[in-house]
Amino acid sequence: MQQPTPLGDMDNESFRRSAHRLVDWIARYLDGGADSYPVLSRVRPGEIQASLPAAAPAHGRPMPEILDDFERLLMPGLTHWNHPGFMAYFNSSASGPGVLAELLTAALNQQAMLWRTSPAATELEAVALGWLRDLLGLPPAFDGVIFDGGSSSNLHALLAARQAAVAEVRTRGLLARGDLPPVRVYCSEHAHSSVDKAAIVLGLGQEALRKIPADDRYRMRTDALAEAIGDDEAAGVLPIAVVATVGTTSSGSIDPVPAVADLCGARRIWLHVDASWAGPAAMLPEEAAIFDGVERADSVVVNPHKWLFTPLDLSAFYCRRMEVLEAALALTPEYLATKEAGAARNLMDTGIALGRRFRALKLWMVMSSFGADGLRARIREHIRLTDGFASQLRADPDFELLAPVSLALVCFRAVPSGCPAGMPAAELDELNAALLERVNAGGEVYLSHTRLGGRYTLRLVVGHLRTSEMHVRSAHELLRRGLDELLEVRSGTWRAPARPSD
């Protein structure tokens, strides 16, 4: 006989049992369990989807079965971002304190659109962002707000810049404005793709974004920036913002912020600094120089989910002119009007999103658990490990660095010492792409790539809490071995000489 369909939440005892089971599973996963999986998933496109039913189950299923399905069907489709061998893109750890915070965040389900809908989430956001701001050495004039990611933060920065330059844009928009000159935003050719997306979204268009050439160390050239701004001004174009990057995605290069700030300051152009990845390194006295000039920016973004051990997603957006963002976005329909509106900050006023998770909790728990010295020690260790990897490559005649080592990022490629002189660039690119694929297929590490100066470039980033000397040594060995194998395969065409160490 059919049981009546239950109401209410899942049975509490089942919840408790499954939650304890999950905690044990996760504790093992975080304590080395992740390491037994290949970092990069080996499934083929469509395989996961094909393994799952096409329709929702008609009746509810017991949680243990669902968790079994997760392990059996979904685990093979995970690429293990929380694996010490994940050295691709910019990685971070979902640290223990961060995971605990997310568990609590989910259960409490705070929605901090208004102060009154979560005074704790609203005020802890100010507190945690204040702690981080001080550790980064930014002045208290920077007010903070949490967004989901760097793309959002960059979008909000340019939204504020647009508002600062053209106050009526909020009501009148940009279209069919005979009275407005075209506007321009500037960033280096190495700025993050989200700056392009922001220009598109805001209705400026990609053509309104001028990509300034970089120098031979991939830093924005301020002479070219000055020239571009000057040319535009002479042509009646209105410069509204410059995005400088502290730690570009490809090479980790650091734009010359003080010189850019001089240019912007003289012309009252909004200066936004994208330090999404590299920012946390400014906590170290020996690296604090990466933030030189940043104190003069109008806005800055630093992503704790990138290099501060905070699970996705948490981007810290700092702004010295938060009232501009508020002027762009704040609007209060009657159903959101509260008596505290004047006395307390309502976080909905400075963001596109109305609904807001209690993200501050994880930042607070991570910072509290590790402490300022613990955060510094861990970031310092990542930089030390990265230097070690770079030294190994420098000592290896078959590899070359393609950019100065920046913090925890190394850009390099294989250039086999035995390969024919004048080997075509395309063949070298192909060799490196094949090497990357071979190393990643091994499952022990995951590296990614970019292109620098036209050359196919491998990237290794250290950002995981459990990445150790062993992992970076292993990365080098795997690259070596992969290269040897590739050269062997290609020996029909040309062949590297045997090395004594082989």
Kindly identify the residues of this chain, within the stretch 219-238, that bind a second copy according to CB under 8 A.
Answer: none
Nearer to a second copy, 178 or 492 (CB): 178
Q: Least separation, in Å, of the C-beta of 427 and a second copy? A: 18
Nearer to a second copy, 250 or 419 (CB): 250
Window of 127-135, 262-270, 390-398, 488-496 that interacts with a second copy by CB under 8 A: 127-135
The number of angstroms, rounded, from the C-alpha of 112 to the middle of its chain's C-alpha atoms is 24
Nearer to a second copy, 126 or 401 (CB): 126
Does residue number 8 form part of the binding site for a second copy (CB under 8 A)?
yes
User: Contacts with a second copy in 456-475 (CB under 8 A)?
Assistant: 459, 465-466
Record the tokens describing residue 89, joined without a space. 């893109």
Does residue number 501 form part of the binding site for a second copy (CB under 8 A)?
no
Does residue number 108 form part of the binding site for a second copy (CB under 8 A)?
yes
Considering only 172, 217, 267, 268, the residue that binds a second copy (CB under 8 A) is 172
Q: Are strands 209-212 and 409-414 parallel, antiparallel or unpaired?
A: unpaired
In the 8-state DSSP scheme, what is residue 90?
Answer: S
Nearer to a second copy, 14 or 417 (CB): 14
49 in helix, strand or coil? helix
Residue matched to tokens 């844009």:
169
Which H or E element spans position 39? none
Window of 215-223, 309-317, 393-401, 416-424 that interacts with a second copy by CB under 8 A: 309-317
Considering only 217, 268, 451, 499, the residue that binds a second copy (CB under 8 A) is 451
Nearest to 364 by CA among 417, 304, 423: 304
Integer Cα distance of 338 and 346 in angstroms: 10
Integer Cα distance of 343 and 325 in angstroms: 19
Cβ(318)–Cβ(159) below 8 Å: no
Distances (CA, A) of 153 to 192, 273, 353: 12, 10, 12
Considering only 145, 157, 165, 169, the residue that binds a second copy (CB under 8 A) is 169
Nearer to a second copy, 1 or 58 (CB): 58
Q: Least separation, in Å, of the C-beta of 95 and a second copy? A: 5
User: Contacts with a second copy in 341-400 (CB under 8 A)?
Assistant: 343-344, 352-357, 361, 365, 367-374, 376-378, 381
Nearer to a second copy, 261 or 278 (CB): 278
Angle (CA) 265 269 273, round 5°: 85
Task: Identify the burial level of 72 via C-beta atoms within 10 angstroms of its C-beta, where 0-12 means exposed, 13-18 middle and 19 or more buried.
Answer: exposed
Q: Least separation, in Å, of the C-beta of 417 and a second copy? A: 26
Does residue number 26 form part of the binding site for a second copy (CB under 8 A)?
yes
Q: Least separation, in Å, of the C-beta of 349 and a second copy? A: 11
User: Contacts with a second copy in 267-286 (CB under 8 A)?
Assistant: none
Which H or E element spans position 260? helix 257-267
User: Contacts with a second copy in 47-66 (CB under 8 A)?
Assistant: 47-49, 52, 54-61, 63, 66
Q: Least separation, in Å, of the C-beta of 278 and a second copy? A: 15
Does residue number 194 form part of the binding site for a second copy (CB under 8 A)?
yes
> What is the amino acid identity at position 202?
L
Specify the long-range contacts of residues 235-239, CB closer than 8 Å, at least 24 apart.
Answer: 236/181, 236/182, 237/181, 237/182, 237/183, 237/184, 238/165, 238/180, 238/181, 238/182, 238/183, 238/184, 239/183, 239/184, 239/185, 239/186, 239/267, 239/269
Nearer to a second copy, 205 or 265 (CB): 205
Q: Least separation, in Å, of the C-beta of 494 and a second copy? A: 25
Integer Cα distance of 47 and 486 in angstroms: 29
